Amino acid sequence: FKLKLDEFASSQNSHFKDGFSVSKCEMNIETEFDGIPIKGKIDRVDINGDDIWLIDYKSGKADKKSLQLAFYELLYQAKFDKTAKGYFYSFDDNQFTNSKADIDKLIEVLDELKEINNTQISFTQNTKYCDICPYKSLCLRGLR
């Protein structure tokens, strides 16, 4: 643990020497995007002039396909009307990494979810399996 902590301190000191400073920690943000209320908690916000980093700590490897950083970027931009870049900070390798997914990909996924949400789903009921069905309380069949 001590070795990891020393590596973290060295990495962060280098980051701060580049001109960054910690602006906020555990920053809760609630806002609205495209008519949808969104909220999140960003682990740390670092600022260097106009350069804003939204940092999410990871104890293991960061998933570079994750939409989490894009969500934080969208959340921050919607709330403060400022562009920021999201980074994972992995304690596993003591590095900042960003995601391959961007806001455009996130918006594409959100649009798909909105389309699915507005789609009528028809359910057919097969009463042969009601006794073992884990959803019987949803259709109220179990109360009959």
Largest CA distance in the chain: 69
**Residues with Cβ within 8 Å of residue 137, at least 6 apart in sequence:** 143
Query: Average pLDDT in the 120-133 region?
Result: 74
Mean pLDDT of the chain: 86
**Does residue 19 carry a pLDDT above 70?**
yes
Give the Cα-Cα-Cα angle 107, 108, 111 (nearest 5 degrees). Answer: 85
Q: What percent of the chain stands above pLDDT 70?
A: 94
Write the DSSP symbol of residue 94: T
Per residue in 70-82, pLDDT (tens digit) is 999 999 999 999 9
Per residue in 135-144, pLDDT (tens digit) is 777 776 655 5
The secondary structure of the chain in percent helix, strand, coil, rounded to multiples of 5, reads 35, 30, 35
Do 28 and 64 form a contact (C-beta atoms < 8 A)? no
What does the block give as tokens for 18?
């580049």
Confidence tier at 123 by pLDDT (50, 70, 90): low
Q: What is the sign of the dihedral through the CA atoms of 21, 23, 24 and 28?
A: negative
Give me the pLDDT at residue 25, please.
Answer: 96
